[in-house]
Amino acid sequence: MPARRVIAHLDCDSFYASVELLRHPELRGRPVVVAGSGPRAVVTTASYEARRFGVHSAMPASQARPLAVLSELVGELRARTGISVSVGVGPSRLVAKTASDWRKPGCFAVLSREQACEQFASSPTRILQGIGPKTAERLAALGIETVGALQQASQERLIERFGERAGRWLKARAWFHDESELETERVLKSRSSEITFDVDVADLRALEQTLRRLSAEVCEGLRRRGISGRTIAIKLRYGDWTNVTRARTLPVATNDPERVAELALSLLRDHAPSRPVRLLGVRVASLQSVAGEHAGESAPQLRLSL
DNA sequence: TCTGGGGTCCTAGGACCC
DNA sequence: TCTGGGGTCCTAGGACCC
């Protein structure tokens, strides 16, 4: 009678990485990746610390390297400023953004589109950027509470309810389809200043005083940037949270506080608020560079940089 | 989530022009 | 005089984001 076979299989944990750690003990506790250096190299092994950053075996080494850059950036940011960040990495802004919110604070999440679809299927629709409280509520009224439910929802029904454009957009969102371009610079479109009063204000004189102050603030901001605008608008909010906006567009742009205040005041008088006002604001839009300052220059840029 | 401030984008309707 | 269709600009309100 043959002896019963007993086989034990011993498998080293992240073997190559462990070997590297024996050779370089100073790397212990840090993310370590063993990989080739050629353009087609893949990751042979990643230490468990590295796996936390989304690096795994067989991943193209080139992919592991941005991840390494990111993890260094996060570490340096924390060391130099004390600010902790959450990082999401994915094929689109939507996946990256959702991933970064996933396990805040201090997370480092790497997801493909397919993984995101699966991972967030049971999450409320609200986690998708662009779906706010109102849209989430309207979806819930259709029985759609989760991202998964939105994925399965009938396209026709969504279009019927939200319109062609928004209907398609919602469905695409649920499947984490997002082709939007990454922007690092945005053109400033408007500049505004507003104030919520400690107590609702009924007195017209007091409202006018505030309007002058807000106009001066807005114009100050415009002047600092060398821009002016053609559309002057005021905004009022009443105690019941209803908002009223009134606007007027001039033939010529201005950033003169007197001129802006004068227009804001006339808009206020025309509207003639009948109830006490909770919030008052002034906005200048249809912006353009001040003529002469940078002749021939295009629209003003608001630079956003790291 | 009884609720601040500075923004962007979208929609819908009206005026006006060709 | 009545009519159609398209484009642009403007206003007002609303949803959303950080």
pTM of the model: 0.83
Nucleotides of C under 7 A from a protein CB: 9-18
Instruction: Please report the pLDDT score of residue A43 as a whole number.
Output: 86
Is the C-beta atom of A193 closer than 7 angstroms to strand B? yes
Instruction: Please report the pLDDT score of residue A256 as a whole number.
Output: 97
Instruction: Please report the pLDDT score of residue A304 as a whole number.
Output: 38
Nucleotides of B under 7 A from a protein CB: 2-12
d(CA A275, CA A237): 10
Instruction: Please report the pLDDT score of residue A269 as a whole number.
Output: 95
User: Measured in angstroms, what separates residue A34's CA from nucleotide C17's C1'?
Assistant: 41
Is the C-beta atom of A163 closer than 7 angstroms to strand B? yes
Is the C-beta atom of A196 closer than 7 angstroms to strand B? yes
Residues around strand C, C-beta < 7 Å: A 97, 129-136, 230-231, 233, 242-249, 286
CA dihedral A267, A269, A273, A279 (to 10 degrees): 50
Instruction: Please report the pLDDT score of residue A231 as a whole number.
Output: 97
d(CA A76, CA A264): 48
A108-114: list long-range contacts, CB under 8 Å, 24+ apart.
A108/A52, A108/A53, A108/A54, A108/A70, A108/A71, A108/A74, A109/A54, A110/A53, A110/A54, A110/A67, A113/A175, A113/A176, A113/A177
User: Measured in angstroms, what separates residue A283's CA from nucleotide C9's C1'?
Assistant: 19
Instruction: Please report the pLDDT score of residue A300 as a whole number.
Output: 44
* 199-228 on A, CB < 7 Å from strand B: 217, 221
Give, in order, the Cα–Cα distances in Å from A306 to each of A73, A115, A175, A265: 11, 29, 30, 40
Q: Which residues in chain A land under pLDDT 70?
A: 9-10, 291-306
d(CA A114, CA A37): 28
A187-202 pLDDT, tens per residue? Answer: 999 999 999 999 999 9
Give, in order, the Cα–Cα distances in Å from A302 to each of A184, A192, A233, A287, A305: 10, 15, 21, 12, 10
User: Measured in angstroms, what separates residue A2's CA from nucleotide B6's C1'?
Assistant: 82
Instruction: Please report the pLDDT score of residue A9 as a whole number.
Output: 64
User: Measured in angstroms, what separates residue A50's CA from nucleotide B8's C1'?
Assistant: 38
Instruction: Please report the pLDDT score of residue A15 as a whole number.
Output: 77
CB A25 within 8 A of CB A53: no
CB A121 within 8 A of CB A131: no
Is the C-beta atom of A136 closer than 7 angstroms to strand B? no
Angle at A283 between CA A229 and CA A255, to 5 degrees: 35
